[in-house]
Amino acid sequence: MLILAAILAIFVYGMIAAMLGTILPDLSLRFHLTPKQNGAIASMQALGLIIASVGVGPLIDNEGKKAGLVLGLALVTIALFLLPKSGGFGSIVFYLFLLGLGGGIIVTGANALASDVAESSRATTLNFLNLFFGLGGLATPFISANLLGRNSVRLCYLVATLAAVTLAIHIATPMPAPGGAQSFVFSDIGPSLGKPALFLLALMLFLYLACEVGVWNWLAQHLIAQGVAEAKALNILSLGFALGLLLGRVVVSQILRTVPAQTVTLAASILMAITTFWMLRTTRFAGIAVFLAGVAMAPVFPTVLAMVADRFATMTATAQGIAISSGWLGLAISSRVIGSIAGGDPKRLKTALLVIPAASVVMIGVNLALRAL
């Protein structure tokens, strides 16, 4: 039941992660939003993710995973039911901030829960868990393009209903109380968390989430600006990127049984740099390039979280929350940079999104620096 609860939570989060990129074309048309305003919306969602990821770690370590997951799912449900009632840019920003808060709590809580279930094979378990993130990410744009006629209102209500059902399941599922050895103690922050390894792992997630969520939020608009039909662009996002993440995590969960986690993340970083650059240079083979980019990115997030948990046996959720919040900070900064470079011209997203392969190259250096510790 614990694994099922974690899977449902991470599936809901996968749908949320793909939500903004899926509904932005419709919102931009309805409210005449510019790429710069879209960047501000994405940054506010990222700010919610950052605040939640920093704050929820101590809550989970002291009160247990259930408290965090129930709170996160409740916030997501409220935000998605209210988002269709937006009256303009300001209310959209607020509801996306609220959605970010809920999403940040869910992703930290679900990964912390799964980390405790299988401590001896964390990297494999977390990659298995996060393949359902890929499934959720695949579902959102696919359903929008093929079943809901790209109607953002109906999509929000659908995902809100699923989040509400998942919330009810989490309320009914017994979860273990926090262990005394893992509880949050302020005096332990320096000795436990002030290690260079945590800084480098957090930096890796800073760069990685700038890449992954950058694709979720901006790829569809980039493809549309290059002349790709909206329905096709959303299918490339779902059947390309999300499917690549899903299948990549299926494969890598087995590879990690024999190959060290750090070697896997190094190879992934190299492949990310190559595939994301190609993704921005082609429309004819966009589906293939985006799929391969998804496969390349697949192992990074769950494997880095497993590396954090392996190095920090106490205050695990807090350490993971710090690393995850660093990732959301990368998203916030990259969204501002991408939106500012693109300005009022969606066609300039082709240049602005070069931030993604550039961040992938820096990830290679961070991975090599981590090997020295």
Whether 180 maps to a domain, the answer reads no
| In-domain check, residue 31 | yes
CA distances from 142 to 155, 292, 306 (A): 11, 18, 30
pTM for this entry: 0.72
- How confident is the model at residue 138, as a pLDDT? 81
Cα 316–Cα 135–Cα 34 angle in degrees, nearest 5: 90
Dihedral through CA 163, CA 213, CA 66, CA 59, nearest 10? -140
pLDDT band at 184 (very low <50, low <70, confident <90, very high): very low
- 40-77, pLDDT tens digit by residue? 888 888 888 888 877 777 777 777 778 888 999 999 99
- Residue 287 lies inside a defined structural domain of this protein: yes
Run of H or E including 204: helix 196-225
Q: What are phi and psi of 371, to 5 degrees?
A: -65, -25
Distance CA 106, CA 112 (A): 10
Q: What is the CATH classification number for the domain harbouring 113?
A: 1.20.1250.20
Confidence of residue 211 (pLDDT cuts 50, 70, 90): very high
Exposure of 370 in the CB half-sphere (CA atoms within 13 A): 24
- Kindly indicate the confidence band of residue 217, based on its pLDDT and cuts at 50, 70 and 90: confident
Neighbours of 331 (CB within 10 A): 27
Residue 103 belongs to some domain of the structure: yes
101 vs 103: CA distance, rounded Å:
6
Angle, in degrees to the nearest 10, between helices 152-172 and 65-82: 160
What is the overall mean pLDDT for the chain? Answer: 84
Asked if residue 205 is part of any domain, the answer here is yes
Tell me the CB-side half-sphere exposure of residue 335, using CA atoms within 13 A: 28
Can you tell me the mean pLDDT for 322-329?
Answer: 82
Count of the separate structural domains present in the chain = 1
Most confident of 11-20, 42-51, 93-102, 319-328: 93-102
Dihedral over Cα of 214, 327, 105, 238: its sign: positive
Amino acid (1-letter code) at residue 284:
R
Domain of residue 46: give its range. Answer: 2-174+188-370
Q: What is the pLDDT of residue 120?
A: 62
